[in-house]
Amino acid sequence: MIMAGLRVRIYGDSILRKKAKRVRNIDDELHHFIEQMAETMRASQIGVGLAAPQVGRLVRVAIVREDADDDVPIHCLINPRLVEQEEEQTGSEGCLSFPTLRADVQRPLRVLVEAINPDGEEMHLEAEGFLARVLVHEIDHLNGVLFIDRAERDSLGWLIPDEDTEDGYRIESTSLDQIHRKFDRLHQKTE
């Protein structure tokens, strides 16, 4: 899937399973890359987080926001590290690397993340609820961990358009085997 010039890698691409390397130098090229990541996430119209491996770069950079609304500020985290987590929450997650797939995932309810901002300054981001979920999801991406690795297996499902429902879609249950087969077929078509 290509958005705003950067191609979002989909499940089955080996880069999604690799651990990203620490950023050692914040330069103009990295700033440009971060801008491209933000454009790519905005272009998705649903994205609330994006990690560098999802667009083909093995560097520890992630961007997050609390909502897919374009007016919501985007936080850029370089070399993010989860330093505190409290309690638990379970909720539905999706991922730009798994178009239309949803699953329930247990995550911390509250987190504290340390990172460096694009100006090279140390930052701390405390988050609760949905933003905590997004932060941990993106940090997982930087470690080669995908949301289906943590998903409750019986909650895996595809979003299917359905104008007869209140939300405009329904969930069609699926399994890990079906997910693997679907993305394998998709990769074969694009090769």
Phi, psi at 77, each rounded to 5°: -120, 125
Which of 65, 85, 66, 67 is CA-nearest to residue 75? 65
Choosing from 93, 128, 138, 172, which is the catalytic residue? 138
Which of 11, 15, 13, 65 is CA-nearest to residue 42? 65
Which of 20, 27, 25, 8 is CA-nearest to residue 61? 20
In the residue annotation, 163 being an active-site residue is answered as no
- The one-letter amino acid code at 178 reads Q
Helix (H) or strand (E) holding 41: helix 28-44
| Enzyme catalytic residues | 138
